Amino acid sequence: MSAAADLTPQGRAILEATRKFGGKDSHSLPFPPCKKYYNPYFKGERMYACRLHNDMRMKRLKKENWEWRPGEKHLDMFWKEETPMAKKKKIEQSTKHQKK
């Protein structure tokens, strides 16, 4: 195991993905991993992947009847709360009411 896999969350995630989806040696992925940042929301909209891959993943999920693949991270856990934009509006509204 490399030092990066020991130290960083990204390194550990790549190592875990390599074990699940890797080739015969389980030391490399059969595809290059994305290095873009995943954020559950972008401009108030749910994201299914990073901004670069979101459209492609949404098309695949729609085609597969919104079923997650084995080993795929279920993103529902990120969306249980309200959107960051909705939270911000609530805070702004409560601040306005407190000032009155």
Tokens (6 digits) for 48: 């299914």
Q: Is the pLDDT of residue 4 over 60?
A: no
Residue 38 and residue 21 share a domain: no
Reported as a single tens digit per residue, the pLDDT across 38-91 is 888 888 888 888 888 999 989 998 999 988 888 787 887 777 765 556 666 667
Compute the mean pLDDT over every residue in the chain, rounded to the nearest whole number. Answer: 75
Residue 83 and residue 43 share a domain: yes
Question: What's the gap between Cα 49 and its chain centre?
Answer: 5
Q: What pLDDT, on the 0 to 100 scale, is given for residue 75? A: 82
Residue 2 and residue 24 share a domain: yes
Residue 47 and residue 29 share a domain: no
Range of the domain at 51: 34-100
Residue 64 and residue 96 share a domain: yes
Residue 50 and residue 7 share a domain: no
Residue 2 and residue 47 share a domain: no
> pTM of the predicted model, to two decimals?
0.52
**Mean pLDDT across the stretch 22-41?**
71
Q: Which residues contact 61 (CB under 8 A, 6 or more apart)?
A: 48, 67
Q: What pLDDT, on the 0 to 100 scale, is given for residue 56? A: 92
Query: How many domains are contained in the chain?
Result: 2
